[in-house]
Amino acid sequence: MIKTPPTASLSQAGHWLWSRKWPIVATLLVGVAVLLGGLRWFYGPEVAVYPVVRTDLVKTVVASGHVETPFRVEIASQITATVADVLVEEGQSVTAGQPLVALAPRELEAAVVQAQATAAQADARLRQMQELTLPAAGQTLKQARATLANADAAFQRAEGLATSGYGTRAVLDAATKDLDIARAQVRTAELQVFTAKAGGADFVMAQTQRDQAQAALTEARARLGYATIIAPRDGVLITRSVERGMVVSPGKALLVLAPAGAVQLVLQIDEKNVGLLKLGQSAVASADAYGDQRFAATLSYINPSVDISRASVEVKLTTQNPPAYLRQDMTVSVDIQVERRNGVMVVPARTVRDPLSAKPWVLVVRDGRARVQAVRLGLRAADSIEILDGVASGERLVPVASGMRAGQRLRPVVS
């Protein structure tokens, strides 16, 4: 009997295996697939799940609007004049008292000179009253009183002679006439002194003329001041409608100023959310042009009427420390905080079944299977819901879109 060498047997086996390599590989692959399928069937499919977390939940009303100042200041000329120069540009920041527009001042300067001359003349007239007229009237009064004394003495002598029969009637009549004239002169001199003194008619008239001249001078100087139009307060010029050479008149706005300081955000809120809003609620806003920079605001106004064409209500929010980049009419997005719960259990809304019904429920992962669990819901905010009862913090919930059924095995993958 001839024995086959071991080496030859191995060679024949290797040849046999090699000649059948593809069927063998296919058989192995099928076996692995069957094994994996069996394991998948036994342990269930991989499913993304969401843990119950304890955190703060904030419900907000989101809206977009624009920036406004609480009011705008229209700056106009107070006189009719020609514009000599415009000293600012649209969009420029200005401070209170800063010159904005220069008007031609020639006529106003001439009016000031004329008023100064009239005031100086009135002052001179009053000084003349005090320094000349009143002293002269006093001297006239002294002289009249002396004349009166002489006339009275002459009258007494003439009367005595006439009574004793030594004097004539003509002499007595002449003495009487001179006495009457002297008395009249004294009265006239007294009136001149009285009217020239403080409180007298002439003095009051002179003083009134001086006061009127001073008032006219003050007015002329004020009108000259109107030749330079200044900023009434700090702010930003948002409109300019004046150029050099224009003739301006009172009442026509030349510049519009948005005052610096507090600004307000004007929004249109869907009327279905009006019941959630209350004055004083806090909000977080951001300008669309600076989306990564947010700032605080406070709800300060809710319009009592509804815009029927848009089914919305206008609300306004104020911010006391607005960021420097805010501009008039800039578009902003605002999240108004209408309710807040701190340290509550929160789950994604996509994990709650029948959330609007009287008996909401979830699928919770327990013992490798999806188990039905009734829950009691609290605050709902955007895509999150507060769970008041039914599950514990850390438990994993199966989303509605997974297609899993109650009792089905699964391999949870935390999202």
Domain residue limits at 204:
107-225
Shared domain for 243 and 383, answered yes or no, is no
* DSSP code for 386: E
User: In CATH, what number is assigned to the domain containing residue 339?
Assistant: 2.40.30.170
Does 344 fall in a domain? yes
Same domain for 279 and 407: yes
Model pLDDT, residue 10 = 54
Q: Is 129 part of a structural domain of the chain? A: yes
Q: Is 150 part of any domain?
A: yes
Same domain for 308 and 205: no
Confidence of residue 1 (pLDDT cuts 50, 70, 90): very low
Find the CATH number of the domain harbouring 86. Answer: 2.40.50.100
218 plus 231 within the same structural domain: no
132 or 352: whose pLDDT is higher?
Answer: 352
Q: Are strands 376-381 and 384-389 parallel, antiparallel or unpaired?
A: antiparallel
What values do phi and psi take at 366, rounded to 5?
A: -140, 125
- Asked whether residue 142 falls in the same domain as residue 190, the answer is yes
Of 15 and 348, the structure prediction assigns the larger pLDDT to 348
State residue 2's pLDDT score. Answer: 47
The 3-state DSSP class for residue 221 equals helix
Residue pair 242/101 in contact (Cβ under 8 Å)? The answer is yes
277, 340: one domain = yes
- pTM of the full structure: 0.54
Looking at 179, 200, 225, which one is the last position of a domain?
225
Q: Tell whether 330 and 348 lie within a shared domain.
A: yes
- Per-residue pLDDT averaged across 15-31, rounded? 66
Has residue 343 got a pLDDT over 80? yes
Residue 10 in any domain: the answer is no
359 is a domain residue:
yes
Length of the chain equals: 415
Quote the number of domains for the chain.
3
pLDDT at 6 over 70: no
The per-residue pLDDT of the chain, averaged, comes to: 85
The rounded percent of the chain whose pLDDT value lies above 90 is 42
Q: pLDDT grade, residue 153 (50/70/90)?
A: confident
Tokens of 184: 């009249």
